[in-house]
């Protein structure tokens, strides 16, 4: 079903492109130009909006991916579909860990103006986003190479 694959790809573009922008463009400049009391509330608010967009993208990616798999009606899936499902699932788990474990810590730290705690939470989020960014690139390459 072509429209499902288009929706799948739009979700991937929002998620992976957003992680690239946040990690490579936004955060280094914010870290260089803003002190923690200015930087952390700004990044927490930006991440809140981004995570909402990613949550919608994840639902779209997962829904359309599973829909496409279901069209096989039990026939064996190509190797790159398996690889994509596996790495994609790992990416989703990492996203959930960020949203339910470390992002709440960042918000609490910002609300209580505890900048060391906020910086520590932001540091873990930054590393997990980098892992997902690399996995995202790998998944896109595998999806295309196998197609
Ligand atoms: C998490 C579960 C996922 C499932 C079950 C899944 C499943 C699928 C399936 C079945 C297709 C084949 C569509 C077709 O050829 O008709 C597809 C295409 C694609 N997927 Fe995924 N996917 C998932 C996650 C991801 C993620 C996380 C990425 C990238 C970060 C990704 C990138 C792509 C790309 C680039 C294509 C297009 C390949 C082409 O050009 O033919 N997918 N996906």
Mean pLDDT by 10 residues, the chain (147 residues): 92 98 98 98 98 98 96 92 97 98 98 98 98 98 90
Half-sphere exposure of 115 (CA within 13 A, CB side): 8
Which domain range does residue 76 map to?
Answer: 2-146
Pocket flag, ligand 1, residue 64 (CB < 6 Å): no
Q: Pick from 1, 19, 86, 31: which is nearest to 57 by CA? A: 19
33, 105, 111 from 117: Cα distances, Å: 20, 8, 11
Determine the pLDDT at residue 1.
63
**Dist. CA 37 → ligand 1 center (Å):** 40
Pocket flag, ligand 1, residue 12 (CB < 6 Å): yes
Determine the pLDDT at residue 147.
77
**How many folded domains does the chain comprise?**
1
Q: Which atom of ligand 1 lies closest to the CA of 1?
A: 16
pTM: 0.94
- Contacts of residues 62-70 at CB distance under 8 Å and 24 or more positions apart, as own/partner, are 62/88, 62/92, 64/4, 64/5, 64/7, 64/8, 64/11, 65/8, 67/1, 67/4, 68/1, 68/4, 68/5, 68/8
């Amino acid at each position: 079903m072509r429209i499902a694959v288009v929706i799948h790809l739009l979700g991937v573009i929002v998620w992976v492109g957003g992680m690239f922008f946040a990690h490579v463009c936004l955060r280094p400049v914010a870290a260089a130009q803003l002190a923690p009391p200015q930087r952390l509330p700004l990044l927490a608010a930006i991440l809140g909006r981004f995570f909402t967009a990613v949550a919608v993208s994840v639902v779209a990616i997962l829904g359309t991916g599973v829909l496409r798999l279901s069209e096989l009606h039990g026939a064996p899936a190509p190797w790159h579909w398996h690889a994509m499902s596996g790495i994609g699932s790992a990416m989703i788990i990492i996203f959930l860990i960020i949203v339910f474990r470390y992002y709440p810590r960042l918000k609490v730290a910002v609300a209580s103006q505890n900048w060391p705690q906020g910086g520590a939470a932001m540091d873990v989020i930054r590393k997990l986003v980098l892992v997902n960014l690399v996995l995202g690139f790998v998944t896109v390459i595998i999806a295309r190479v196998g197609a």
